[in-house]
Structure 1
Amino acid sequence: MEANRIVLDSVVRYPVKGLAGVPTPDPVRLEPGGGLRWDRSFAIARESSIPDGGGWRPREEFFHLARHEQIARIAVDFADAETDAPHLTITSADGRAASARLGAAPMPDTGAIDGLLRSALDEGRADPRLITTGSAGLWDWPRAHLSIINLATLEALGREAGEPVDRRRVRGNLYLTGLEPFGEFALIGRRIRIGEVELEIFQPTDRCRATTIRPVDGVSDLNIPALLGARYGHMFCGVYARVVRGGTLRAGDEVLDTGSTIDPAPAGESGWPRTAQIVERVGESDDVVSFWMHDPLGLLHAAQPGTHVRLHLPQEPAPNWRSYTISGVEPGRFRISVKRDGRLSTLLHESRPVGSDIVVSGPHGTAEADDGDRDLLLVTAGIGITPAAALLRSRSAQSKAGRVRVVHAERSTTSLPLWAEACRAIGDLSDARASLHLTRETPPTESVGFTAVAGRPDADALRAAMADLDLARADAFVCGPGAFAAGVRDMLVALGFPADRIRVDAFYSPATPDWGPPRSPRAEGPLPVDSSAGAFVWEPGAGTLLNAAEKAGLDWPSECRVGVCGTCVRAVAAGEFEYLNDPLFDAGPGRVLACSAAPLTALRLDGPPDASSLDPLGAS
């Protein structure tokens, strides 16, 4: 943790899941295995079949902000919160109020509240009613007892958005001051103490459409997930904690690092931002340095060839992230090889020595399926050699019979990062050859392990490289600057290499989407939409395809609901559509993000595409 004094600024509980929180100025008691007393202990059920006291259930079964923004207009008061019989009052937007004494009986009388909910939340087939959850709160995850928010992170987001970010958007329980922006990610996997309470920080908090909703009136006006994705390279803000030692805490308590880590460490997911450490720097050429890093989750140590890691530098001017191909893995560490080119890459060269901490996420992207029995052609240029180096490491470890040919272009012999390593791997293979094409230097008269020629790789060079490959069982991998990669692919196809067996590594630059509310649909409707899950009719009032599908009773997968995560992607079999907000996720040709799009014509949609072909935010 950081040297600054970190303090608990405020405590907020949410007695009814989805409704407004209630600040808690008095000391609160926490027990192991639970959160704040009565936090998310009640919810507004959408179906009469949902029982009281049924324990934890997913948010889709209840009214929640991401889908039912009108609940933001319901005010909440919660008295006697630390007792066995708290008093709940809700007030609708038009000033009508209803109350109930909760906990006074096994089944509290909530008839007045239910009546107010039915009139305030006109949802057609839904029958809103207040239910209890039993012993477990309806947290976002079954054991996510507490949501912790770093107020410095919200301030940084506000600077990027050009307006303050109301803390009520992120619905945290514990708000901290004294951390650097996004410094909460350094807490993942650690134990902290606040007052008498000890917590395990086990997971970052991903953000969805609920954060776009203005707390005062339920209007979606600020695209927080897209802002996070474009400016910081991820969708996370805050962390989740579990209570492992009970006691009392209150606003003003200091937050202390116990010096302990979670055992066993959190399993983690590749998209989680976490703090890695640089353990070695290696100069590869006059303008390329390799950085070996340790990943606290260990996921990057086993990354497959063709994947990349995303580096996040939240203290730098945004956009402050970039993706780098993983050029090698070893037990307990992974490697990226960085060319001094551009703002963030230059910063890594100049100000990240061994021992530096750096926020990372990944591995991202689609792993290169490397069948060692298939022939392989690698065509690279410049720093594009990095994925080839990882593939060659994989091939040399397999001891299979597939032939390997490498064609690499570089300016001069003073700028040959990873080339010696690649040649060593080639030498370990039974049938492998390499050619080096120098564009600004006369080739050396002697070369060991490769052929050196002048000029860029042309069709003749590629024809020679693939001459003795079995194209019926061969793969090609192309990586380099955009024009180079596109030109090589075209030449390979013209030479007869199967187009569907050529992979071109694409690069991505951080985008700047629109943070504002969605645009109005252009189509007047109604328009029919046929899908593999069922047919429905889209009306302009529904807004997006996802909203229309849900109103028709279809249960389509979705998470962020603002075009960032890619969960709602559907394949388009026929018809045209438009985006009502500019999505950050590139769904690719023939696909649509249902959460952000509206039809322009009748549509026919198939199911979601193969998830392995989708990569949120893309590669860089």
Structure 2
Amino acid sequence: MSCGAQRLRRWTAPSDLHSDRLPRSRGDPARFHGRGEGDTMSAPRIASITRYPVKGLPGVTADAAVALQPGRGLRWDRSHAIENGRVRIDDPAAWNSRDGYFHVARHEEIVRFGMALDDAEGDRPTLTVTAPDGRSAGAALGDATRSDSALGTLLRDTLPSGPFGSPRLIRTDATGLWDWPDAHVSFINLATVRALAEAAGEHVDPRRFRGNVLIDGLAAWGELALLGRRFRIGTAVLEFFQPTDRCRATTIDPVRGVSDLNVPGLLASRFGHMYCGVYARVVSEGEMRADDVIVPIDEARSGAATETVATPTVVGEAEWPRTGRIVSREPAGARSESFWIEDPSGLLGAARPGQHLRVHLADQHAPSWRSYTISATAPDRARITVRRDGRISSALHDGFTAETDLVVTGPFGDVTLDRAEERDVVLVSAGSGITPSVAMLRALAADADPRRVRVLHVERTAADLALWDEVTAACSSLPDARASLHLSRSVEGATADGARVGRPSAEDVLSTIDDLDPDDVDVYVCGPALLTSEVRAVLHGAGVSTEHVHAEVFYSPTTAELTAPREPSSEGPHRITAGRRRFTWTAGAGSILDTVEGAGQDWPNGCRVGACGTCVRTLVSGEVEYLVDPIVPPPTGSVLVCCSAPVGDVEIDEP
């Protein structure tokens, strides 16, 4: 079960899943993922196919064709599971979350079981399970769930019981106990696994990801270009609809059954997201086998004169990585370039003014991502304005033009312009921090907003200015707006744009509110930390509440290696209160998350290195310390329970 399994939005296509009315993909149907016109991956193939008859236990590789039917995955895949007795399951025959079953994330030892399935495509295949101690038991799948079977006895003898009973093999009447109810088949790109191995500096076994289908012939992360599209594989048609988020299960060595590689932490820190692999659902029945080519449906059905092609509606989550395309590029000052990026999910085009996206460059050394504020939006696309500063930004400048693909996530960020608010607006920025100001000004101008608007921007030289013409144009269209520009370096022509030479003084900052009510203004600051602190102090002294001075810091990746947790400074015991629950932490317990998991609680978590934000909780009272420095610090008043420990008694909100 994926860690994000409570999120229910999907990449969706038309509802006629059993119809011949198949959608045409956006753009060149032969392009899966590349860097430009000449770089396409047109012949990805299936390397191997694996089914998992018992959820959590090892898989069985198919050595012949496998049948696929709409609404189903591989036959007998995740058709059975072992109840763990820890969570009561009211309807064992239905689809249930992993919490009630033995699963790798919590019961890592189960990967050391052996598994065989004879006549896997038949109606009564024979399942044989071998325990880590060498004992084996088998049964026809129709009889395997009998409590008096040898297989049932083997499971009770080798797996622990829970408060609700002993381990029990059950068969679901649902189509399969996949990570999601409609995630029929999971695909893993071997090139992406190799990229992970390079970032980790060690071999990464593809079996960690428990995928049904391994594919080869794509670039690393090229599987993301499959999303929202349909493909013919063998004689079946599948639709790829969602990337696969990763949790602790992938940290487990699939042979030894020990946690030895923090894959979620590696993904989050080195690649900027928590996803590896994609899910597909079966649209039209057929068979597929190893070495089959994955063909875009446009090519597979070319020449069908009567075909009516529909366009898929793609929906996703902001954190889902997907393949976008640069549709235009234009200069913005001496050191900056603006890139318009088309987003297949449409999410970036709906970004709120002030939000940012992440760009993930598959062919760059890890960390291979960076955050950029969205400077403008249009339907299904967004613009970023990138200053040549650092490795990822330079790579964008040097190698990305129109019609180039790249992986994006977002939009992210909570410090945004409230377009329904009536408070006056002050925008203060420096350098590339002008981008959120431009996005907010464009929104205010589009709304013909009656609020009073004041802008103060600092740049090094006139040549470095980016998007200043958009600032002045937006201010001209608003009923009461004015902008001031400060150039910190005095060079010839510095005042050509009506700029003042030198950094702004406290008096310059105060001038932004000289005719505004300090109690009725929202200030947005984007620039170096020193600028933010100075603006806060000056405006607070003039009566502007600190809660109305907004400055979101978004983090690009650190180059620090993942390290083992430090020893806590306190021995404890300390009490952890979460709602009505009480837990006792001691120095040997590890993190707050380790403590609550040790008490039998499953709290949302992912990377365990403070990168993904999945485990963030509100710190109601008390003090904590971080045993691993968070890659992305949490918001003020919050705590990442995956890598923190209490210094004394603490209270946090309960998930």
Report the TM-score, using the length of structure 2 for normalisation.
Answer: 0.86
41-50 or 599-608, larger mean C-alpha shift: 599-608
Alpha-carbon offset, residue 284 of structure 1: 1.8
Name the counterpart of 2:54. 16
Counterpart check, 1:99 vs 2:138? yes
CA distance 1:283–1:488, shift in 2 (3 Å): same
Deviations 1:163-217 (A, max 9, x none): 1101110100000111111111111111122211211111111111110111122
**8 Å Cα contact 1:100-1:109 kept in structure 2:** no
Match of 2:350 among 282, 302, 306: 302
**8 Å Cα contact 1:220-1:517 kept in structure 2:** no
Alpha-carbon offset, residue 263 of structure 1: 4.7
Counterpart check, 1:569 vs 2:616? yes
Alpha-carbon offset, residue 306 of structure 1: 1.1
Q: Distance in 1 between matches of 2:189 and 2:319?
A: 20
**8 Å Cα contact 2:345-2:380 kept in structure 1:** no
Name the counterpart of 1:616. none
Q: Distance in 2 between matches of 1:50 and 1:396?
A: 55
Counterpart check, 1:528 vs 2:575? yes
SS state of the match for residue 259, structure 1?
Answer: helix
SS state of the match for residue 417, structure 1?
Answer: coil
Report the TM-score, using the length of structure 1 for normalisation.
Answer: 0.91
Match of 1:336 among 384, 388, 401: 384
**8 Å Cα contact 1:300-1:363 kept in structure 2:** yes
Q: Percent identity?
A: 49
Name the counterpart of 1:33. 71
Counterpart check, 1:398 vs 2:444? no
CA distance 1:456–1:514, shift in 2 (3 Å): closer
Name the counterpart of 1:269. 317
SS state of the match for residue 215, structure 2?
Answer: strand
Q: Distance in 2 between matches of 1:489 and 1:470?
A: 16
SS state of the match for residue 231, structure 1?
Answer: helix
1:572 aligned partner, one-letter code: L
**8 Å Cα contact 1:383-1:417 kept in structure 2:** yes
**Runs (5+) with no aligned partner, structure 2:** 1-31, 33-39, 300-308
477-486 or 256-265, larger mean C-alpha shift: 256-265
Q: Distance in 1 between matches of 2:140 and 2:531?
A: 70
Alpha-carbon offset, residue 111 of structure 1: 4.2
CA distance 1:452–1:539, shift in 2 (3 Å): closer
Q: Distance in 1 between matches of 2:274 and 2:465?
A: 36
Q: Distance in 2 between matches of 1:309 and 1:78?
A: 46
Counterpart check, 1:456 vs 2:494? no
CA distance 1:523–1:246, shift in 2 (3 Å): farther
22-31 or 173-182, larger mean C-alpha shift: 22-31
Alpha-carbon offset, residue 145 of structure 1: 0.3
Alpha-carbon offset, residue 404 of structure 1: 0.7
CA distance 1:577–1:36, shift in 2 (3 Å): same
**8 Å Cα contact 1:208-1:562 kept in structure 2:** no
**Runs (5+) with no aligned partner, structure 1:** 609-620
CA distance 1:514–1:456, shift in 2 (3 Å): closer
189-198 or 512-521, larger mean C-alpha shift: 512-521
Q: Distance in 2 between matches of 1:359 and 1:206?
A: 16
Name the counterpart of 1:57. 96
CA distance 1:597–1:78, shift in 2 (3 Å): farther
Compute the RMSD of aligned alpha carbons.
2.6
Alpha-carbon offset, residue 598 of structure 1: 4.0
51-60 or 540-549, larger mean C-alpha shift: 540-549
Deviations 1:267-317 (A, max 9, x none): 111111111111122222121111112111111111111111111111122
Name the counterpart of 1:278. 326
Q: Distance in 2 between matches of 1:582 and 1:208?
A: 20
Alpha-carbon offset, residue 51 of structure 1: 5.1
CA distance 1:342–1:541, shift in 2 (3 Å): closer
Name the counterpart of 2:292. 253
Q: Distance in 1 between matches of 2:576 and 2:380?
A: 50
498-507 or 10-19, larger mean C-alpha shift: 498-507
Number of aligned residue pairs: give it. 605
Name the counterpart of 2:18. none
96-105 or 296-305, larger mean C-alpha shift: 96-105
Counterpart check, 1:81 vs 2:123? no
- The structure whose RCO (Cα within 8 Å, separation 6+) is larger is 2
Q: Distance in 1 between matches of 2:319 and 2:480?
A: 38
CA distance 1:143–1:508, shift in 2 (3 Å): same
125-134 or 241-250, larger mean C-alpha shift: 125-134
Q: Distance in 1 between matches of 2:280 and 2:554?
A: 36
CA distance 1:267–1:85, shift in 2 (3 Å): same
Match of 1:439 among 488, 508, 516: 488
497-506 or 487-496, larger mean C-alpha shift: 487-496
Write out aligned runs for 1:552-563 (5 A): 552-554=599-601, 556-559=603-606, 563=610
Q: Distance in 1 between matches of 2:490 and 2:559?
A: 40
Counterpart check, 1:502 vs 2:549? yes
CA distance 1:25–1:513, shift in 2 (3 Å): farther
Q: Distance in 2 between matches of 1:110 and 1:402?
A: 76
Name the counterpart of 1:209. 248
Name the counterpart of 1:90. 129
Name the counterpart of 2:558. 511
Deviations 1:553-586 (A, max 9, x none): 5453445556443232223344454545554342
Counterpart check, 1:349 vs 2:397? yes
**8 Å Cα contact 1:57-1:138 kept in structure 2:** yes
